[in-house]
Structure 1
Amino acid sequence: MKYYFVLLLLVTGTALNAAALKPLIYKGGKHLTTRDTDTVIRKRSVSIGVNYGSDALFFGRTGPIKYPFMSTDFVYNAKSGFFVYGSAVKVLGYNPLVDELDLGTGFFYKYSKNVSGTISYSRFLFAKAAADIIKSASSNDINFKNSFDWKIAKSSVTADYLFGKSSDFFLTINTSKYIETSWSVFDDKDYLSFNPTISAIFGTQNFVQKFSRDHPNRFLLYDVSEPLEGSPEKPYNNGRFNALNYSVKLPIAYNRPHYTLEASWKYSIPVNVEGELKNRHEVFFNLTFYYLFF
C-alpha cells in the first residue's frame, strides 16, 4: 500500500504558541504520524485551518493580561518538500480586524526512516493598533527542527533564532506518544487520536526587556511604587541562557480523511520569570479545525 506524505502547519502554533511543524501522512483514509516502517511518497497538498486560543503564549511567556485570539491559516506543500504558509491573527476584544499577519516558507527532509526534520523562516507583521502581545518585540524567526521516532514515543529538538527589535535563541525539547483508536466513532472512515506531550523550553529573554521598555505603562497593572526586578529601571540579565518553561499537553482529535477537529489543554509551568510579567502556572486551551486538500 502506498503512503502519501502531506505537511500541515498550524501557523498559529508558530505565531502565538511557538509550536513547530506537524508532519502527517495519508494512509487509507487516515492521517497518521510518520512511523519508521512507512514508505513515504510526497504529494502536493493545500490545508486551511481555523484556531481559537485562550491566551497568547510565546516561548513559555505571556503578557501581563490575557489575550484570547482567533486565527486562520493556510499551507501549501510541494512534492519536493518545500512549503509556504500564512496566518492572520485576531486578538479578541481589540479594534484591528487583523492584529498580526505571519508569512513563511520552509523545507521538510528525512535523514532516515526514523529521523526527519524541517527548516523554515517566518516573518511576523503587526498592525499599528494591534494588542500589546509580548511577541511583538520579535519580527523574524529561523526555525530548525529534528525529530526522532524511537517506536515507543517520538522526540524532537527545535532551535529558534528570533530577531527584530530584540534577538533571542531558544531550544525546545519535546517527547510525545501518539495513540489512535482501533474503532470508529460514526463510520469506518473516522477515528480519535491522542498525542500527550511533555516539553521543556530553554533560551534567552531579551524580548521581555524590549517589551518592558516599549510598554512602561504596564506597571500600572500591579499598583507598585518601586520598580520591579526585571523592569526597565531594574533589569535582569536577559541575555543569559536559562530554562524558561516546562509543560504537559493533551490534544484530543476527531479525524476524518480530509479534516480534523482538535481540542487541546496545556498545563504550563514558567520558571526564571521576570518580576514584571508575573507569569504563573496556567492552563491554556486551544480548539482547532483544519481541512486538507490533496
Structure 2
Amino acid sequence: MKRIWIWTWLFLLLPAFAFANLQAAETDTTKTNWWVVGVETSNNSSFFGRNTATRYPYIAPTVTYVHHTGIWASATAHQLFGTEDFIDETDLSVGYSFKVRKRLEVDLSYSHFIFGKNTPLVNASTTDALSARTAYDWKYLYTALTGSYIIGSGNDIFTVLENSRYVPLNPLWQGNIPVGLDPKISVTAGTQHFYDTHTTTTTKKTSTGGGTTGSGPIGGILDPLKPGGGNGSNNGGTTTEETTTTTTTTNVSRFRVLNYDLKIPVVVYYGNFEFEPSWRYSIPVNKLEGDESRAQSFYTLSVKYTF
C-alpha cells in the first residue's frame, strides 16, 4: 500500500522563497512586483522528519507572485513518481512578508490543500494550514522559527527551529558567478496522537454463614447469639473474593521533539536563475509504535527563475 508524502518543505520553502525575492527586489526600485517559477525534485519525501520504508521520490513545480508591499501568493503541484494520479496534491498559499527591524523579518501565510482522487498521501485528511515564521540575522548566524497550525480531521501544531549561515565561495577562486554554501541545522517538534490504555484490577471480599464481618447490634459487639461479639473466629462462615478488571483507553496528544536535520545546500546564481542542489540527513526521534521512520539521506535539486 502506498503511504507517505508530506510537505514539510512547504512551510520552510515558501516563506523563505518570498523573503529571498523581497530582498533581491530591494536592490531594484524600478520593479513593482515579481514572478518566480521554480521546480523541486527529490529522491524521497517526508513529513516533519517522518518517512516510511518505501521511498516516494517526487517533483514539485511552483509559481509565486511577490508584490513590493510584501504580499505574495503561490501555487504548488506535487507529483509522486509511480502513483495513479497525475497530480497527487495541489497547494494554494497566500502570505504577507515584512520587516519589523532591519534584521528581523516576519512572514504570515495561509495554505489550502487539494488532493487527487486516488492519492496515497497520508495527509489527505488535511485541508488547511496557518503558518507564522520569524527570522533574525545575528550577522554570524541566521535563526528562523516557523510555527504551523494544521487544520483537518485532527488538528496539530508543528514548530521548526532553524539556524543557518550563507557562506560565499567566490573569494576562493574569484569567480564571476555567485556560488555559496548555506548549511542549516534544524529541530522539528510537534504534536503526536496515540491511544493510552490503562488496566485496573480490584478485589472485593465477601463473607457468608457465621461471618466475620462483625454484623449485628452495634457491629455484633453486643449480639447475645455470638459470644465475644463474633470477633476473632469464622464460626463456620465462608469468605469469597470477587475480582473486577476495568480497561480504559483514552486518546492522548503530546508535544515532543520529532526530528533533527542537517542540510547542506550549494547555491548558484546565474542571471535570473538560482540553482540549489542539497544534501540533507534526517534523524527521527520519539517514534511511536509502528513508526517505520529511520535516519536517512535526502538528495534534492531546486531551480528557480525570477522575472
- The TM-score bracket by the shorter chain reads 0.7 to 0.9
Give ranges in structure 2 of 5+ residues lacking alignment.
196-248
Q: Given the alignment of the two structures, is residue 263 of structure 1 paired with residue 252 of structure 2, yes or no?
A: no
Aligned to 2:67: 78
Matches within 5 A, 1:238-277: 239-277=253-291
Following superposition, the deviation at residue 122 of structure 1 comes to: 0.6
Q: 1:171 maps to which residue?
A: 159
Give the conservation status (yes or no) of the 8 Å contact 2:134–2:144: yes
Q: Distance in 2 between matches of 1:273 and 1:135?
A: 18
Residue of structure 2 in register with 1:94 after alignment: 83
Is 1:155 aligned with 2:143? yes
**Which residue number corresponds to residue 47 of structure 2?**
58
Provide the residue aligned with 2:301 in structure 1. 287
Distance in 1 (CA, whole Å) between partners of 2:295 and 2:166 is 25
Indicate conservation of the 8 Å contact 2:161/2:188, yes or no.
yes
Equivalent-residue separation in structure 2 for 1:267 and 1:178 (angstroms): 19
Q: What's 1:232 paired with?
A: none
Cα distance in 2 for partners of 1:193, 1:102 equals: 30
Q: Aligned-pair distance for 1:263?
A: 0.7
% of aligned pairs identical?
A: 26
Aligned residue for 1:124, secondary structure, equals strand
The 2-side partners of 1:47 and 1:135 are apart by: 27
Identify if the C-alpha distance between structure 1 residues 256 and 202 changes in structure 2 by more than 3 Å, giving closer, same or farther.
Answer: same
Contact 2:51–2:294 (8 Å) recurs in 1: no
Corresponding residue SS for 2:48:
coil
Contact residue 96 and residue 109 of structure 2 kept, 8 A: yes
Residues 121 and 140 in structure 1, CA contact (< 8 A), matched pair in contact too: yes
Q: Kindly state the Cα deviation for residue 86 of structure 1 after the two structures are TM-superposed.
A: 0.2
Q: Identify the match of residue 190 of structure 2 among 188, 195, 203.
A: 203
Q: Distance in 2 between matches of 1:19 and 1:115?
A: 18
Question: Is 1:17 aligned to residue 5 of structure 2?
Answer: no
Contact 1:147/1:157, CA 8 A, preserved across alignment: yes
The TM-score with structure 1 as length reference comes to: 0.76
Give the conservation status (yes or no) of the 8 Å contact 1:119–1:145.
yes
**Structure-1 separation of matches of 2:58 and 2:6:** 14
Query: What secondary structure sits across from 1:24 in the alignment?
Result: helix
1:285 to partner: Cα distance: 1.1
CA 1:100/1:247 → structure 2, altered by over 3 Å: closer, same or farther?
same
Cα distance between partner residues in 1 of 2:122 and 2:147: 20
Contact map agreement 1:67 1:133 (CA 8 A) in 2: no
Question: In the alignment, which residue of structure 2 is the partner of 1:192?
Answer: 179
Q: Relative to structure 1, is the Cα distance of residues 185 and 136 closer, same or farther in structure 2, using a 3 angstrom cutoff?
A: farther
Residue 193 of structure 1, CA deviation:
1.6
Please state whether the residue corresponding to 1:87 is helix, strand or coil. strand
The equivalent of 2:124 in structure 1 is 136
* Kept after mapping to 1: 8 A contact 2:42/2:58: yes
Question: After the TM superposition, which of the residue ranges 119-128 and 60-69 deviates more from structure 2?
Answer: 60-69
Residues of 2 paired with 1:236 and 1:52: CA distance? 40
Partner in structure 2 of residue 145 of structure 1: 133
Partner SS, residue 17 of structure 1: helix
CA deviations over 1:44-103 (Å, ceiling 9, x no partner): 100001111111211111245221101110000011110000011100011211111110
Q: Is the 8 A contact 2:159 2:189 kept in 1?
A: yes
SS in 2 for 1:199: strand
Shift of 1:288: 1.1
- Alignment partner, residue 119 of structure 1: 108
- In structure 2, what is the Cα distance between the partners aligned to 1:191 and 1:243? 36
CA apart distance, 1:242: 0.4
Shift of 1:141: 1.0
Q: Is the 8 Å Cα contact of residues 22 and 66 (structure 2) preserved in structure 1?
A: no
Partner Cα distance (2:6, 2:28) in 1: 25
Distance 2:93 2:282 in 1: 27
- Equivalent position SS for 2:102: coil
